[in-house]
Amino acid sequence: MKTLTIDVDEVKNVDGRHRFYKWLAMQFNGGLIVEMGTGPGRSAKCWAFNKTNLVLTYDIKDHLSDYTKRGFNKLCNLLRIVKDCNEVGPEWFSKVDIIYLDINHNGTDEERFLQRIAPYFKGILVMDDVDCKKRWCKLYDLFNGLERELHLLPSSICS
C-alpha cells in the first residue's frame, strides 16, 4: 500500500464538483475503485476521471435513465452493477484500492458492510454523508478493533 499525502493546493486546482474524488482517483494508475450506492452517478463519474482505473459502481436500484441522460454510459472505465453490495463476497475486496461507501445511512447497514469486509480490505475507504456523531462513534469503535493502521476522512469536508 502506498502512502498518500494530501496536497490541499493540488486538490483545489482540480476543476468541478467532488474535486477530492477526482484528485484521489488520479493518485492510482490501473487501480480498482468500487462505489457502493450509486444513486444518480455524479460521484461515479468523478471516480472514473482517471481513465486508467476501473470503476465498479453498485446500487440496488437501476438508475439507467440518469446514467444515459448524463452521458455516463459512454465512459469505458465505468461499469454499473445493479446488485446489493452485501451479496458480493467479502474476500473479493482484498483486490480493491478505494471503496467509496454511500449506502443507506441508517446506522446499521454501513456498520454491517464494514464488518464483513474488514478482514480483507486494505485500501482507502471514503464514506459519504457521515455527519452523525453517534454513528461516527460506533464506526470508530469498529475501526479501533482492527489490527492495522487506518485513517478516516469524511468526504463531506472534501467536496
CA 46 to chain centre: 11
Tell whether domain 21-157 is in CATH 3.30.930.10.
no
For the record, the C-alpha cell of 89 comes out as: 463476497
Cβ partners under 8 Å of residue 17, min gap 6: 42, 46, 159
Q: What is the pLDDT of residues 15-58, one digit of tens each?
A: 777 788 888 999 999 999 999 876 767 788 889 989 999 999 88
Residue pair 107/135 in contact (Cβ under 8 Å)? The answer is yes
What is the rounded CA–CA span in Å between residue 42 and residue 76?
A: 16
Residue pair 23/11 in contact (Cβ under 8 Å)? The answer is yes
Q: Where are the chain's structural domains?
A: 21-157
Q: What is the pLDDT of residues 92-148, one digit of tens each?
A: 899 999 998 888 767 678 788 888 888 898 888 887 765 555 555 555 565 555 555
Burial class (CB in 10 A: 0-12, 13-18, 19+), 150: middle
For the record, the C-alpha cell of 151 comes out as: 485513517
DSSP labels for 22-49? HHHHHT-SS-EEEEE--TTSHHHHHHTT
pTM of the prediction?
A: 0.77
User: pLDDT band for position 156 (50/70/90)?
Assistant: very low
